[in-house]
Amino acid sequence: MQPSGEFDLIARHFRRPPRRAIVGIGDDCAVLQPSPGCRLAISTDMLVAGRHFFPDADPHWLGHKALAVNLSDLAACGARPLAFTLALALPQADDAWLAPFARGLFALADAHDCELIGGDTTRGPLNICITVMGEVPGPGQHGGALLRSGARPGDDLYVSGTLGDARLALDALQGRLSLPPEQLARARQRLDAPTPRVALGQALQGLASAAIDLSDGLLGDVQHLLDASGVGADVHADAALSLLAHGRQPGDAALPRPTLLACVLSGGDDYELAFTAPPSLRDAVQVAALRSATPVTRIGSIAARPGLQLLDAQGRVLTDRFPSFDHFA
Amino acid sequence: MQPSGEFDLIARHFRRPPRRAIVGIGDDCAVLQPSPGCRLAISTDMLVAGRHFFPDADPHWLGHKALAVNLSDLAACGARPLAFTLALALPQADDAWLAPFARGLFALADAHDCELIGGDTTRGPLNICITVMGEVPGPGQHGGALLRSGARPGDDLYVSGTLGDARLALDALQGRLSLPPEQLARARQRLDAPTPRVALGQALQGLASAAIDLSDGLLGDVQHLLDASGVGADVHADAALSLLAHGRQPGDAALPRPTLLACVLSGGDDYELAFTAPPSLRDAVQVAALRSATPVTRIGSIAARPGLQLLDAQGRVLTDRFPSFDHFA
């Protein structure tokens, strides 16, 4: 009997010789051995056409993004990427789509030495589900995984990189606002090809008291970190606004402040890290940022009272609500 | 900010305190530590409405089956289940669907001490993607994972349990054949609630030379094992037919032999194990079957020449083709 279409398809686009894995694609299970003393960090994300990406999205960048959002979860835990599985539902077996998808996926995977070890393909409405595995040092070294639950009153609150571009691009592509072509291209790159902050996450091992990745919007995701830690926070609106990539380039559109504030505070799809660290480690945090070539900005501090307060330049509490993106809203 | 709908939903139906996991649901990653000296076995399966199950399938049994097909992959590797992630796309956030789905899922998970450690939920066409993790002994103990690639000429070829009922049920439900109600109920239980052969897989550690789980049909799946091992096989049609559950109960429908042969040879959705072992281990294989309360049947043997030959009672080669189920056919 000849291998049938499904198996051909998998082999042609996704099968490569195992590197670190003991058993890779092609058996009932993959077999993986974490480094001695290390624990395994695991996360899964499902991307659905029309919900997480445009149905006609460039398959190359879709391959990139599907892995990037998973690597971003590893980054938030300070884990070193090891391997991932890919389950893919496709309306039809389409080489012209699969070839660039696989190229985009593997380009990012190779950049992080993260190996595809298994998967499943089936016919169905386009759906991409990746489960990623990384490793974190055991409890004896550097405190293990970064968790959401370690923030303590008095800690500084930081955010990596810049925020808001992904949401600006989405709003422009869906006709809710207008951007000059060059700005749209820059913003769209953040939407289509997010950069998981893997190096920063690892550099923050032993420094950050808590961390989370920003997928659904700054305020909503930071609230999850606060909830897990049983604390509150004061966030300075001006410091948050300074995270905007928008406005840094000559020729950027003039947009109203409420639009910009909404983009930076609850835009979503940023895939930056928010994290906390004691003020005594400010220099060490900046060294970690430099080592990982990832700028970080201090935007507030952790409070003992519950709740996230957004403060204006005069220290007054702003009361606008910026809800987090909810996949069932 | 209050937790929004998506997070509520996850918490209500799926969040339970971590047991073996160091970090469970609710952080960016779960954290897991395999037992000392053990390796991790990993598999992923995606189930799509209308393709792998009827859109109106009972959510309780769908929860069971989504995990069962993944545990079946662990069984084929001889792995002990540890943990799984669940990614779920749903047309709407529906308590009346999620509650029984979670009950069915956790009933099977608890029976195998397999812990839900992470997940993702989103709105979209119904799609269930589970990634399961188990552990296998390191190379020093019992030979590690069972693989597809270890079959050697002269080995016996075995199949666990019975075959064909799932396909009979599917054909009956889709109107291609007629079964008495009691037989349909029995057959349908095999379709809706397959039993992953986890205990048998572990009992075959150190005995079986190769193994695979039967999801797409006996002949097609055994062919994958043969391909991976670089060997062929002779399969006795009468021995294969003896694997049919059909016909064992009084009142079972009278069905034509070609229908029955097709069900047993290429029915699919059986989730039994096919495995090979040297003839010198026949007694030990039967002890493993007894220990795991899972009957096994010898249906043929491995040959050095390539190809799978189906033989009649007189040893003549049958030439009918029974293609494996292909999700893109």
Contact flag A123-B48 (C-beta cutoff 8 Å) = yes
Question: Domain limits at B274?
Answer: 148-318
Domain assignment present for residue A327? The answer is no
State if pTM tops 0.95: no
Q: Distance between CA atoms of A145 and A75, rounded to whole angstroms?
A: 10
d(CA A15, CA B195): 30
Which residue, A245, A271, A261, is CA-closest to A322? A261
The span from the CA of A266 to the CA of A236, in Å, is 15
User: Model ipTM?
Assistant: 0.91
Looking up tokens 């992630």, which residue turns up?
A: B85
Domain membership flag for residue A326: no
User: Exposed, middle or buried, B255 (CB in 10 Å: 0-12/13-18/19+)?
Assistant: middle
Contact residues, chain A, for B308 at CB < 8 Å: 1
Question: Residues B49, B109, B224, B244: is their CA dihedral positive or negative?
Answer: negative
Indicate the SS3 state at residue A121. Answer: strand
**Pair B167, B291 in one domain:** yes
CATH of the domain at B68: 3.30.1330.10
**High-pLDDT (> 70) share of chain B, %:** 93
Instruction: Say which CATH number the domain at B220 has.
Output: 3.90.650.10
Q: How does residue A101 score in pLDDT terms, banded at 50, 70 and 90? A: very high
- The answer on A171 and A89 residing in a single domain is no
B326 located within any domain: no
> Which amino acid, A105?
L
Q: Does B319 touch chain A (CB under 8 A)?
A: no
Flag whether A24 is in a domain: yes
Q: Above 70 in pLDDT, residue B327?
A: no
Residue B311 forms part of a structural domain: yes
Pairwise CB contact (< 8 Å): A28 & B219: no
CB spacing of A136 vs B31 below 8 angstroms = yes
Last residue of a domain, one of A89, A118, A137: A137
Q: Count the neighbouring beta carbons within 10 Å of the beta carbon of residue B321.
A: 10
pLDDT classification of A258: cutoffs 50, 70, 90: confident
Partners of A298 in beta bridges: A158
Tokens of B156: 């016996």
- Give the tens place of pLDDT for each residue, B107-140: 999 999 999 999 999 999 999 999 999 999 877 5
Which residue, B82, B92, B84, is CA-closest to B121?
A: B92
SS (H, E, C) A210-268: EEEEECCCHHHHHHHHHHHHCCEEEEEHHHHHCCECCCCCCCCCCCCHHHHHHHHHHCC
A34 touches B at CB < 8 Å: yes
Q: What pLDDT is recorded for position A150?
A: 94
Q: Which two tokens stand for residue A278?
A: 């004691």
Do residue A93 and residue A238 come from a single domain? no
In whole angstroms, give the CA distance from residue B37 to residue A241: 50
Residue B328 lies in a domain: no
A205 conformational bin, left if phi > 0, alpha if psi -120 to 50, beta if neither: beta
pLDDT tens for each residue of B166-180: 999 999 999 999 999
Nearest to A77 among B28, B74, B227 (CB): B28
Q: Whose CA is closest to B48, among A53, A123, A50, A98?
A: A123
Domain boundary among A137, A169, A195: A137
Q: Are B23 and A147 in contact (CB < 8 Å)?
A: yes
The reported pLDDT for the residue numbered B20 is 86
Question: Which residues in chain A are closer than 8 Å to B138, comparing Cβ atoms?
Answer: 33
> Which has the higher per-residue pLDDT, B319 or A229?
A229
Structural domain total, chain B: 2
Domain endpoint, select from A76, A103, A137 = A137
On whether any CB of chain A is under 8 Å from the CB of B308, the answer is yes
Task: Provide the pLDDT for residue A137.
Answer: 87
CB atoms within 10 A of CB A48: 22
My answer on whether B120 and B230 are in the same domain is: no
Which amino acid is present at A19? R
Q: Name which of A21-35, A174-188, B220-234, B293-307 the model is least confident about.
A: A21-35
B129 vs A contacts (CB less than 8 Å): 44, 46, 87, 120, 127, 129
Q: Are A115 and A84 a contacting pair, CB within 8 Å?
A: yes
In a domain, A230, yes or no: yes
d(CA B24, CA B224): 35
- In this structure, the answer to whether residues A182 and A158 fall within a common structural domain is yes
Chain A residues with CB under 8 Å of B324 CB are 1, 4
Same domain, B165 and B278: yes
Answer yes or no: do A104 and A65 share one domain.
Answer: yes
Which residue bears the tokens 């940023």? A270
Give the tokens for residue A125: 């409405």
Shared-domain flag, residues A261 and A295: yes
Q: Are A184 and A43 in contact (CB under 8 A)?
A: no
For residue B65, the tally of other CB atoms under 10 A from its CB is 25
> Cβ–Cβ of A29/B42 closer than 8 Å?
yes
Q: Which residues contact A70 (CB under 8 A, 6 or more apart)?
A: A43, A44, A45, A84, A130, A131, A132
Does residue A328 belong to any structural domain of this protein?
no
* Cβ atoms within 10 Å of B17's Cβ, excluding its own: 7
pLDDT digits (tens, 9 = 90+) for B251-292: 898 999 888 989 999 999 999 999 999 999 999 999 999 999
Mean pLDDT computed over every residue of chain A = 91
| Residue among A6, A148, A329 minimizing CB distance to B326 | A6
Measured distance CA(A64)–CA(A300) in Å, rounded: 32
Spatial distance between the Cα atoms of A108 and B228, rounded to a whole number of angstroms: 29
A87 and A123 fall within a common domain: yes
Between chain A and chain B, how many beta carbons pairs sit less than 8 Å apart?
A: 262
| Phi, psi for B222 (deg, rounded to 5) | -60, -35
Task: Report pLDDT for B225.
Answer: 97
| Per-position DSSP letters for A57-93, written without gaps between them | --HHHHHHHHHHHHHHHHHHTTPEEEEEEEEEEESS-
Which of A27, A87, A212 is the closest to B28 by Cβ?
A212
Contact B131, A85 (CB under 8 A): yes
One domain, residues B305 and B160: yes
Residue A4: its chain B contacts at CB < 8 A? 220, 323-324, 326, 328-329
Residues B115, B152, single domain; the answer is no
Question: Whole-angstrom Cα distance, residue B170 to residue B267?
Answer: 9
Q: Do B77 and A123 touch (CB under 8 A)?
A: no
Pairwise CA distance, residues A326 & B4, whole Å: 7
Same domain, B103 and B182: no
